[in-house]
Amino acid sequence: MKRKINLKHWKNYVKNLSIRRKMVASLVFCVIIPIILLGILTTSRVLHLSEQNLYEIQMSQMAKSGKDIENMYELVAREAATLAGDKAIQDLAADRATVMDYKNAAKKMVDAAEKIDYCSTITLSKEGIVLFQRGPLYMNEEEDTAYTRQIEQEKATYLWRPEHPVTFKKGIITSVQNQISYYTTVMKELTLQNQGVLSIHINASEFLGQLVPNQEENRVFDIIIADSRGNTLVSREKNKGLARLCWETYMGSKGNGESGYFPIRADNGTFIVLFTKCGSSGLYLFQIERKLSFYNTQILFIIAAVLLCIIFGVVYGMIQNHTIIKPLQHLSIRIDTVKSGILEKKDYKVARDEIGHVESGFENMVAHINELINQVYMQTIKTQEAEREALLAKMNPHFLYNSLEAIHWLAIRNKDYEVSEQLEALGDVYRHILRNGEGIISIQDDMEFIDNYLFLLDFQMGDRVAFISDIPEEVYGYKIPKLITQPLIENAIQHGLKNVSEGGKVKIRIRKVSSGIDIIVIDNGVGCDAKRLNHILEKKDSKEAFALRNINERVHLRYGGGYGVKIFSKKGYGTFVRIRMGMEDAL
C-alpha cells in the first residue's frame, strides 16, 4: 500500500513539473545517462566483439528486407483478389464480356501492374490458354497447365510458382526472363465455381536485386527466398543443394525462430547463413555469406562517441530551451492574464516558426474576441429593442389583407375599376410588408413593391408630383434588405413635397459601384438641414429621424461600419439621400 502511495506521489510530482524541468529531466535520464551507461557497457565488451555484433546489425537490415517481401506478398495477394472479384474480369473468364468489360479490365490490370513493383504482366487464362493480359510486357498465349490446373481443379485457391523462365514478345523481339508467379482462382459470383485463373508475374532478378540488401560480391555468396515448406521461390545462384542444406539446418537448429543466423559447411567452404521470417507471408529470407574475420573497435573511439553524444544532448537542450520552453512559458503567462479578464492585445517580437505563429495567433484572437464581445453586446441590445418594437406592432395582418381582397372583388363586381386597381395595389403592398422570414429580397422584388407603392401615391398626389425610376436591369439580381427604399420615398413626399402644388419630382436611382450597391432617392422639395440629420444618424439614443436611423443601423449590422445612409441637401433646392450597401448576389 505504501509503495502505491509513493508511486502516485511521484507521478503527481512529475506531472506538476514545469516544462523546462521536464525537458532537463528527460534529457538527463533518457539521453545522457543511458548514453553514459551504454558507453561503459560497450567499452567493457569492446575487446570481446565477435561475429555476433556484426551479424546482429545485419539482421536489422534483413528484417527490413523481410518486411518489404511481406508487403510485396500482401500487395500481390490483395491486388489479385481484387482483380479476381471484379465483374468485368469475371465476364471475360465466362466469355460474355462486352467492349466496356474489356476496357474496364484493361484499366484495372494496368493500375494493378503499376502498383506492384517489378510486375511484368498480369494475365487471365482458362485451361492454360491466355484470354487477356496487360502489363509492361506480353507473354506467350499459353500458361503452364501444371500450375493452372491445380487452381482450376480447385485443389488450391492460390499458389506461388518458384522462379521459372517466361517468354515475352514485343513486336518481333522475343526475350526470356525469369519470373516468380502468383496464381489465384476467378470464381463465378453466385456458385463460387472456378471459371478461370488470374496470374501475376514478377521479374525475379529485379525483385531480388532491389529488395534484398548487402549483395556485395566479395561477401554474399547467395540469397534465397523460400516458402514455408522449404521450396525455393527465388535464388541468385540457383544452387538447389545449398538451398536444401540451408532449410534442413534451419529446421534442425532453430525450428520456428523468427530471425537469426547459423553456420553451415558445404563442399566449397564454411558459410554463415542469416535468416528472417517475412512476417505473415510464410516466406523466409536466407542470406548466405562467406565467413569473415572481425576487427575490434577502438576503446578511444567509443569514449569519444559517448562524449560527443553528451555534448550534443546539452546543446540540444539549450536550443530547445531557447526556441520552445521560453516562448511556451511566455504564452502561458499571457493565457493567465487573459483568463483574469484582461482582453488586451500585446505587441512583441515572435519567432517565425510554429510557436511564433501560435503566439501571434493568440494575440490576434484576444483582439478579435474583445471586438466580438463588444459587437455581441451592442447587437443584443439592438435585438432586444427590435423584439420589443415588433411585439408592440404585432396585430392580426391576415384579417386586414383578406378584407382588402374582399373589397377589391366587390369593386370589380360593381365595375368600379379605378377603386379595384387601387385596392389591388394596396393589397400587394400590404402582402409584401407581411411576408415572413424574408429580411433580404432581390432588387427586382423590391422594385415591384415600389411600383405598387408609387401607383398609390399617384392617386394621392395627382399631377403635383412626378415619380421617375432609373434602375438598370443589371442590378435586379442583387439582394438588399427588405423595406429599405420605401421609407426614403415616403420621407421625400412627407417632408420635402408635402405642400407643393405642381412641378414636384421624386427620382429613384440604383447603381452598382465598386464597393457595393447605391440606392439613391432625389427630390426637388424644400430641402433640409443635412448636417444635422447626418449627425442624428450617428447617435444611438436619438428619438428623431426614426426611419432613417432604423435603415442606417440595419445596414451597419449587416454590412459593417463602412456602409449606411448619407444625406445631401440644401434648403430650397431639394434633398439627395444615398444608401450604400454591400453587394450580395441573389440565390
Whether 467 contacts 531, CB under 8 Å: no
Query: What kind and span of H or E run contains 12?
Result: helix 2-15
Do residue 8 and residue 145 come from a single domain? no
Q: What is the pLDDT of residue 395?
A: 45
pLDDT per residue as tens digits for the range 57-99: 778 888 888 888 889 999 999 999 999 989 899 888 888 889 8
Do residue 12 and residue 154 come from a single domain? no
User: Does the residue 419 lie in any domain?
Assistant: no
Whether 132 contacts 123, CB under 8 Å: yes
Q: What is the pLDDT of residue 121?
A: 93
First to last CA, the chain: 70
From the centroid of its chain, how far is CA 311? 42
Helix, strand, coil shares, percent, the chain, to 5: 50, 25, 25
User: Does the residue 196 lie in any domain?
Assistant: yes
Do residue 247 and residue 379 come from a single domain? no
CATH number of the domain enclosing 279: 3.30.450.20
Do residue 331 and residue 220 come from a single domain? no
Per-residue H/E/C for 97-157: CCHHHHHHHHHHHHHHHHHCCCEEEEEEEECCEEEEEECCCEECCECCHHHHHHHHCCCCC
CA atoms within 13 A on the CB side of 265: 0
Q: What whole-number distance in Å separates Cα of residue 162 and Cα of residue 204?
A: 9
User: Does the residue 576 lie in any domain?
Assistant: yes
User: Does the residue 215 lie in any domain?
Assistant: yes
Do residue 328 and residue 261 come from a single domain? no
Whether 519 contacts 566, CB under 8 Å: no
Q: What is the pLDDT of residue 5?
A: 56
Cell digits of residue 172: 518481333
Do residue 61 and residue 20 come from a single domain? no
Q: What whole-number distance in Å separates Cα of residue 325 and Cα of residue 270?
A: 58
Do residue 148 and residue 210 come from a single domain? yes
Q: What is the pLDDT of residue 321?
A: 74
Residue showing cell 512529475? 14
**Nearest Cα residue to 76 out of 138, 158, 139:** 158
Q: What is the pLDDT of residue 394?
A: 45
Residues in the chain: 587
Q: What is the pLDDT of residue 429?
A: 62
Residue showing cell 487477356? 132
Do residue 199 and residue 232 come from a single domain? yes
**Nearest Cα residue to 467 out of 495, 425, 506:** 506
From the centroid of its chain, how far is CA 111? 24
Do residue 43 and residue 61 come from a single domain? no
Residue showing cell 472479384? 85
For 339-370, b where at least 16 C-beta lie within 10 A, e where not — what string? Answer: eeeeeeeeeeebeeeebeeebeebbeebeeee
Do residue 157 and residue 172 come from a single domain? yes
pLDDT per residue as tens digits for the range 407-445: 556 556 565 555 556 655 666 666 666 664 457 888 888
DSSP assignment of 407-469, as one string?
Answer: HHHHHHHTT-HHHHHHHHHHHHHHHHHH-TT-SEEEHHHHHHHHHHHHHHHHHHHTTSEEEEE
Query: What kind and span of H or E run contains 519?
Result: strand 516-523
User: Residue 46: CB partners within 8 Å, gap ≥ 6?
Assistant: 296, 297, 298, 299, 302
CA dihedral 419, 422, 424, 427 (to 10 degrees): -120
Positions of the chain with pLDDT under 70: 1-6, 11, 14-20, 22, 39-40, 42-52, 190, 211-218, 254-256, 292-302, 305, 343, 381, 383-438, 540-543, 586-587
Q: What is the pLDDT of residue 127?
A: 87
User: Does the residue 472 lie in any domain?
Assistant: yes
Q: What whole-number distance in Å separates Cα of residue 261 and Cα of residue 270?
A: 13
Domain count, the chain: 4
Neighbours of 73 (CB within 10 A): 19
Cell digits of residue 226: 523460400
User: Does the residue 234 lie in any domain?
Assistant: yes
From the centroid of its chain, how far is CA 333? 33
Q: What is the pLDDT of residue 540?
A: 65
CATH number of the domain enclosing 462: 3.30.565.10
Do residue 327 and residue 385 come from a single domain? no
User: Does the residue 412 lie in any domain?
Assistant: no
User: Does the residue 555 lie in any domain?
Assistant: yes
CA dihedral 552, 553, 558, 559 (to 10 degrees): 50
Do residue 228 and residue 309 come from a single domain? no
Q: Structural domain of residue 134, as residue ranges?
A: 52-290
